[in-house]
Structure 1
Amino acid sequence: MTVFTRWLAGLFLLLAALSAQAQITPLKFGVGLFQPDRERNDATYRPLAQHLSQRLGRPVELRTVDSWEGLAKSLANGETDLALMGPWGYVLANQAADAQVVSTILYEGKPEYFAMIITHPDSGIQSVADLKGRTFAFGDKGSTSGYLIPLHFFMKQGIDPAKHFSRVLHTKHQAIQTQVTAGQIDAGADYNRNRDAMIAQGLIKAERSKIIWQSDPLPNDAFAVSEALYKDKAFVARLQAALAEVGPLLKTQPNLLPPNYTGFIHSDNRAYKPIRDAGLATGILQPK
């Protein structure tokens, strides 16, 4: 074989490898709207997408989805392969399309958080019993702490929100805190991480946000995969390993996750049983 033919053979091999790489189907990574706007959300989670792409050896396309319900539907219809989503959104995706959680995100080292009902000190509301005839804000209907868990709590108390409150609205978590502390809404549903972060950032004053109810511990956001990907056990193992690396890497690459998030731990469907139970109890989920 001459030098030229060896060179030509090498060129063909290189072109073939580049062509094969170009044909690798990108993994579509859906992320809920955790940040105030889509642009900031994309910027926040792009480093994680890049990390996963490097570790998995495949392109990863990041896509912010506005609502938990929307993200659950995108996993069901094939628009999303991987997703970082709220617990209730995950349970919806599991119910609708057999999406499966592989890891749970850690916040300050913990895999759990709390739903709560908040008001402001000048409202005269001391307990949930005082909410009758008042205005109340839920999060969107795909939110765990903003909708499902407080709705389940109200049902156990015999409270029908449509009849119990003078007005019910659905909005985003930050808006709930802002409007409640400003006295524009009497009370609303939120979660401890959002309240703590807004206080730390100076967006609300702690003395203007009063907790009158708190839930049992709930599992943090789920990193889930589609039913098809979950069947590839070798891929799932590589993905879990890549996510487990994030915590140690935060020491040198702090932008891999938003502030106070400290990594991932392996998880499975059993961890989200409290959310599933609430969905079944409220009738939003139907038994399979």
Structure 2
Amino acid sequence: MSFPLRFLACVLLFAILPAAPLRAEPAAILATYAYTRYDRAAALQPLAEHLQRGLGRPVEVRVLESPRALAAALRDGTVDVAVTNTFVYLGLRDLPAIRAAAVFDVPPATLDAYRGVLLARRDGPAASLPAVQAGAAQLRYAQVIPGSTSGGLVQDLFLASRGLDAARFATILQAGTHEAALAAVVDGSADLAALADAPWQARQREGKAGDLVELWRSPPIPPGPLVCRAGGRIDCARAAQLLARLHEDAPAALAAVVAAWSEAAGATRLIPVQAAPYDALTAVFADAAAGRAALDKLL
């Protein structure tokens, strides 16, 4: 066969062979944790699309069942970018791979309102902190969901600073929402309740607070930052740049996320993370090592 014919045969052969499939670039994972009131998968989708354009690779949304599950996924590298809560960040911020990318710039009124409270019935067995410490083994303790910052973890951290491990309570009830945790202590199905300050303030405004006593109120809780896991599927520096400009380049994506996090209410941009507001939450421990150990146990 002459050279031209051999060349033509080769061209035809390659033309009819099936093309080898291209290996798709693995998707980066943008994740958070579920909360009953919000459709967080829908809330994160516009942000995922914006990050996908800016990073030049696929970005998928995952909503995990709890803050603890989100913390575990960040530790093991199955999540690349996450909208955390405060305690997930506190528990992970010392890990070398975890980079704080940005946080909601919330108005002072929102920040001041985001606190946790510990409530009990005035006529019940947990009407004072000494009573709680002495009788924990007989007390029913209502929280919101496992890993809720203002509805469990901030209170548990405070109790730990007083030498009381939440595991000592007779029962820990997961109410599902802050309002349900409040209802549990009001109707007597719980002796003690951990919840956000807002429902408690609303009950006081309604003049219905006389049957309850506030045992403790936290300092303002900064919102959980967006974090990135270095060494994974994306460039964390580039992700931080995209988040810093989100209010300009994709304001609808920012608004969708803000709408699904009550602690971010009123935020119009994302800003760099400062350590001091988070450090204030562990200041209840005189010993920093004890505070670190308590955080590790809670998460």
- Common fold by TM > 0.5: yes
Q: CA deviation at 1:120?
A: 5.3
Aligned partners of 1:98 and 1:274: how far apart in 2?
Answer: 23
Q: Match for 2:182: what amino acid?
A: Q
Q: Extract unaligned runs of 5+ from structure 2.
A: 1-20
Aligned partners of 2:25 and 2:53: how far apart in 1?
Answer: 14
**C-alpha spacing 1:121/1:67, structure 2 compared with 1 (3 Å):** same
**What secondary structure, in the 3-state scheme, does the structure 2 residue paired with 1:228 have?**
coil
* Aligned partners of 1:42 and 1:62 also within 8 Å: yes
The residue correspondences of 1:128-167 to structure 2 (distance < 5 A) are 128-131=129-132, 132=135, 133-139=138-144, 142-163=147-168, 165-167=169-171
**C-alpha spacing 1:97/1:68, structure 2 compared with 1 (3 Å):** farther
**C-alpha spacing 1:160/1:226, structure 2 compared with 1 (3 Å):** closer
* Aligned partners of 2:80 and 2:234 also within 8 Å: no
* Aligned partners of 2:102 and 2:240 also within 8 Å: no
Aligned partner of 2:251 among 249, 252, 259 = 249
Aligned partners of 2:200 and 2:45: how far apart in 1?
Answer: 24
Partner of 1:29: 30
Aligned partners of 1:98 and 1:268: how far apart in 2?
Answer: 18
Percent identity, please.
22
Q: Does 1:80 find its partner at 2:82?
A: no
TM-score (norm 1): 0.69
Q: Match for 1:167: what amino acid?
A: T
Aligned partners of 1:245 and 1:223: how far apart in 2?
Answer: 18
Q: Does 1:182 find its partner at 2:192?
A: no
TM-score (norm 2): 0.67
**What secondary structure, in the 3-state scheme, does the structure 1 residue paired with 2:294 have?**
coil
Partner of 2:7: none
Aligned partner of 1:266 among 265, 272, 277 = 272
Partner of 1:59: 58
**Cα RMSD between the aligned structures?**
4.0
* Aligned partners of 1:101 and 1:269 also within 8 Å: no
Deviation per CA, 1:241-267, whole angstroms, max 9, x where unpaired?
A: 244548x936x9854431635242221
**What secondary structure, in the 3-state scheme, does the structure 2 residue paired with 1:151 have?**
helix
**What secondary structure, in the 3-state scheme, does the structure 2 residue paired with 1:257 have?**
helix
Partner of 1:235: 238
**C-alpha spacing 1:101/1:125, structure 2 compared with 1 (3 Å):** same
Aligned partners of 1:135 and 1:35: how far apart in 2?
Answer: 23
**What secondary structure, in the 3-state scheme, does the structure 1 residue paired with 2:156 have?**
helix
**C-alpha spacing 1:117/1:218, structure 2 compared with 1 (3 Å):** same
Partner of 2:220: 217
* Aligned partners of 1:55 and 1:242 also within 8 Å: no
Aligned partners of 1:70 and 1:210: how far apart in 2?
Answer: 33
Question: Which segment is superposed worse, 85-94 or 217-226?
Answer: 85-94
Q: CA deviation at 1:117?
A: 0.9
**What secondary structure, in the 3-state scheme, does the structure 1 residue paired with 2:83 have?**
strand
**C-alpha spacing 1:254/1:236, structure 2 compared with 1 (3 Å):** closer
Partner of 1:281: 290
Aligned partners of 2:111 and 2:67: how far apart in 1?
Answer: 19
Aligned partners of 1:120 and 1:243: how far apart in 2?
Answer: 45
Deviation per CA, 1:90-117, whole angstroms, max 9, x where unpaired?
A: 2323345631212122455645631211
Q: Does 1:168 find its partner at 2:172?
A: yes
Aligned partners of 1:101 and 1:67: how far apart in 2?
Answer: 20
Partner of 1:207: 208
Q: CA deviation at 1:70?
A: 1.0
Q: Extract unaligned runs of 5+ from structure 1.
A: 1-18
Q: Match for 2:223: what amino acid?
A: N
Q: CA deviation at 1:238?
A: 1.9
